[in-house]
A and B are shown apart, each in its own frame.
Chain A
Amino acid sequence: QSALTQPASVSGSPGQSITISCTGTSSDVGGYKYVSWYQQHPGKAPKLMISDVSNRPSGVSNRFSGSKSGNTASLTISGLQAEDEADYYCSSYTSSSTYVFGTGTKVTVL
């Protein structure tokens, strides 16, 4: 199975909104509601930001939201803040009963 496709980088100014896309196939993103998003700061373990397409775990800022349409999932960060600068990865359950990550997106706050 191939990695899900994400843009390599996305940038925005403080206070702006940005959206990161995650494109897969009907065998992963399009076939299941089990898409999640992870934030990773340098030298740190990943942190779950969104589960099950749009569910925000307790403690995660409501500036983070998720959605899905067809084979593409999206993560939107509104009111961009300096602390949001990090790498972001999507992940999906697959028809092989395993999981696959996206290629990763570096978010830069200008």
Chain B
Amino acid sequence: EVQLVQSGAEVKKPGDSLKISCKGSGYSFTNYWIGWVRQMPGKGLEWMGIIYPGDSETRYSPSFQGQVTISADKSISTAYMQWSSLKASDTAIYYCARQGSSDWGWNYWGQGTLVTVSS
């Protein structure tokens, strides 16, 4: 069974750094794109970027380029989203997702990680 399990909720202060994770299991982690999606409170979904763990090719959506860092450690089947200096506006739920095996839909999703940034 394919599963994406994300790290737990975080409460941080503005200026803090943070790295959240998404662990894949039940499939060959290196062979599928992983994407990250932001959902701010009461708002819609936003693509942040995608990574191919096989060679770590990473693509960022323009709004998020330079704001976050996406990475992956294929030895432990885990993808990461990282901030160097959080802002209050980074408060959101962050989802990871995996692309399908025979189509371009994102058919497996993590449970989401709530990040709260508040002084």
**Known contacts A36-B106, A45-B112, A99 near B44 by CB under 8 Å:** no
Within 8 A of A (CB), among B103-119: 103-107, 109-112
The reply to whether B44 and A101 form a contact with Cβ atoms under 8 Å apart is: yes
Chain A, Cβ-Cβ closest to B45: A101
CA–CA, A13 to B37, complex, Å? 32
A45 CA to B95 CA, complexed, in Å: 8
Which of A48, A89, A99, A103 is most buried by chain B, counting CB atoms within 10 A of its CB? A99
* Chain A contacts for B53, CB-based, 8 A: none
Q: Which of B8-16, B58-66, B83-91 contacts A (4 or more CB under 8 A)?
A: B58-66
What is the bound-complex CA distance between A37 and B44, given in angstroms? Answer: 13
Complex interface: chain B residues within 8 A of A98 (CB) = 47, 49-50, 59-62
A1 within 8 A of B: yes
> Taking chain B's interface residues, is the majority helix, strand, or loop, or is none over half, making it mixed?
strand
Q: Which residues of B contact A51 (CB under 8 A)?
A: 100, 103-105, 107
Contact yes or no, A99 B35, CB < 8 A: yes
A38 to B45, CA, bound (A): 10
Residues of A within 8 A of B (CB): 1, 3, 34, 36, 38, 40, 45-48, 50-52, 55, 57, 87, 89, 91, 93, 96-104
* Further 12 A-B residue pairs, CB within 8 A, beyond A36-B105, A55-B105: A1-B62, A36-B104, A45-B95, A45-B112, A46-B37, A46-B95, A48-B107, A50-B105, A51-B105, A52-B104, A57-B103, A100-B47
